[in-house]
Structure 1
């Protein structure tokens, strides 16, 4: 859960799936003080590309990344594209998918695979902060084959 009450205009905070490339879901505060929940991605050293944002009219927002490795499509064919999907919730119960997802690309410039990060940074004035509470990771159940489609 992310508490955005300490964010100032120009501040960003959230959770990211990263290696050489990154996908992120979080909140930011616009110049006018309006808060937004957003999804963005970033490629090697480039500015982040804001893909989608929606107004956020409360201080608390729940964030989630769902990793899908070695996907098997609805036809039972193994794909090579590993995916990260990003969600937010206003109440911790009903989750809203934001963005189309993020294709994770494993490269050897960093020998480890994709990792999860919490972040908070300012693009204008220092002094803002984000409070994170209830970080929860769940190990995947690999006992069954899981099929996916782009619409999930």
Structure 2
């Protein structure tokens, strides 16, 4: 974390995916910064930012996520979403289950026998709850066809995968036929 050109905090990331959050408290004009590895348990990062407002040329506070190379030229930051909410959450957060594709691109070929694989990363299951199904909607270009979905048993113990073309997309449902929860 850098403030006015001075590094205020640094941490080594323990995994490739990290969640970032800023709580802006406009009642006391302060902002607090947090990071998380699962989108649920948050660690405060650096000190609080005192937001000062001046009337001569008020522009408000702007924020961004960017890559700042310190050892060699290059690098990038891949941001999957940017969300706003009207409440402060501090080191807690809502227990929403979220899923993300692990690849941003899939390379295709002209061979109709080509099999494309992609992974879905699911954040930590909230509390001690169980997941009984996963529903996804896939938008696939009309030049391509999805002929099936396989679930890797070592990652997920699902017994049933349904895939249904619907209004230019594919709806996919993964679950166990006996009603048991999925084990991730």
TM-score between the two structures when normalised by the length of structure 2? 0.42
4+ long deviations beyond 4 Å: none
Give secondary structure in 1 for the equivalent of 2:82: coil
Q: 1:51 & 1:97 partners in 2: Cα distance?
A: 13
14, 18, 23: which one pairs with 1:57? 14
In structure 2, the CA distance between the partners of 1:123 and 1:109, relative to structure 1 (3 Å rule), is farther
How many residues align? The count is: 88
Q: 2:85 & 2:30 partners in 1: Cα distance?
A: 16
In structure 2, the CA distance between the partners of 1:68 and 1:128, relative to structure 1 (3 Å rule), is same
Is 1:97 matched up with 2:44?
yes
Structure 1 unpaired stretches of 5+: 1-38, 43-47, 72-81, 142-152
Give secondary structure in 2 for the equivalent of 1:64: strand
Alignment of 1:1-152 (within 5 A): 39-42=1-4, 48-71=5-28, 82-108=29-55, 110-140=57-87
Structure 2 unpaired stretches of 5+: 89-184
Give secondary structure in 2 for the equivalent of 1:120: coil
TM superposition shift of 1:69: 0.9
Decide which structure has the larger Cα Rg and report it.
2
RMSD: 2.2
TM superposition shift of 1:131: 0.4
Q: 2:70 & 2:9 partners in 1: Cα distance?
A: 19
In structure 2, the CA distance between the partners of 1:129 and 1:107, relative to structure 1 (3 Å rule), is same
TM superposition shift of 1:102: 0.8
Give secondary structure in 2 for the equivalent of 1:87: strand
TM-score between the two structures when normalised by the length of structure 1? 0.50
